[in-house]
Amino acid sequence: MIKETWDGFKKNRLAVVGAGIVMLFIILGVLAAFIAPEGINNQKDADRLLPPSTEYWLGTDDFGRDILSRILHGAKLSLTVGFFAVIGSAIVGTFLGITAGYYGRWLDSIISRMFDILLAFPSILLAIAIVAILGPSLQNALIAIAIINVPTFGRIVRSKVLGLKQEEYIQAAKSVGMRDRRILFQHILPNSLAPIIVQGTLCVATAILEAAALGFLGLGAQAPQPEWGRMLSDSQTYLQQAPWTVFFPGIAIMLTVLGFNLMGDGLRDALDPKMKE
């Protein structure tokens, strides 16, 4: 299964490029403490708003801090938020989706209506409302992003389970008295993993964008954390005077999101039998 998926994935050149971009940013984030040329909060008043040069490859910000160093450390923050928010929403959404799809009836009605209520709000507005209640911080932004993505996973898993539970091998398992827990964990869940993995990859890109948006609005990462959205917010005043302070964090966000989207498309094509030739 893994070999077949990899063979299908690597046929998509754009997906391989996307995976390469993602791996690059993961490596940069993990090794940021060792390869960053400056500390993230090293301020040099004499070097304020310097353009890119041999000394400062991506220039400096309004406090004289090295932008390259802050972007490298920001990769760790942004990817951490993206991964953990998606893991949390995938776990909760999968549990609710399986429960709704397998047991149906009133449980399905309650869970589905809850999903509908959450999906009725624009995701970023719902995230803003949650963070406003919990308080501005990177951790609360992570919680908010996880909550708003739960319905996405829940509805995907529910629709998959509704089809799976009608399969003959599930009906046979029930007829011989196999317990629901065993059916769910040995048959239903393993066969629902493909859409969860694909959606998870795509949702990481969305989560990074949402974290950047909350940081830009001052509701996510707080100064002096080098989160990319926060860097954009802090530099917007100097857009005309020092455009590199906005350009490079924006490019980092764009490339990371693009990488996850390309990789997610490749995984979808490799894991979905209908997409195979």
DSSP states of the chain: -HHHHHHHHHT-HHHHHHHHHHHHHHHHHHTHHHH-SS-TT---GGGTTPPS-SSSTT-B-TTS-BHHHHHHHHHHHHHHHHHHHHHHHHHHHHHHHHHHHHH-HHHHHHHHHHHHHHHTS-HHHHHHHHHHHH-SSHHHHHHHHHHHHHHHHHHHHHHHHHHHTTSHHHHHHHHTT--HHHHIIIIITGGGHHHHHHHHHHHHHHHHHHHHHHHHTTSSS-TT---HHHHHHHHGGGTTT-THHHHHHHHHHHHHHHHHHHHHHHHHHHH-GGG--
Nearest CA to 214 among 139, 153, 120? 139
Tell me which residues of the chain have a pLDDT lower than 70. 1, 272-277
Render pLDDT for 69-96 as a digit per residue (tens, 0 to 9): 999 999 999 999 999 999 999 999 999 9
Cα–Cα distance for residue pair 277/273, rounded to 1 Å: 8
What's residue 273's pLDDT?
Answer: 54
* Burial environment of residue 63 by CB neighbours within 10 A (0 to 12, 13 to 18, 19 or more): middle
pTM: 0.89
What's residue 221's pLDDT?
Answer: 86
What's residue 43's pLDDT?
Answer: 87
What's residue 274's pLDDT?
Answer: 54
Instruction: Return the domain boundaries, the chain.
Output: 2-28+68-275
In CATH terms, 2-28+68-275 corresponds, of 1.25.40.10, 1.20.1250.20, 3.40.50.10490, 1.10.3720.10, to: 1.10.3720.10
Structure tokens at 42: 């090293």
Residue 111 and residue 94 in contact, taking contact as beta carbons nearer than 8 Å:
no
Q: Tell me how far the alpha carbon of residue 146 is from its chain's centroid.
A: 9
In total, the chain counts a number of residues equal to: 277
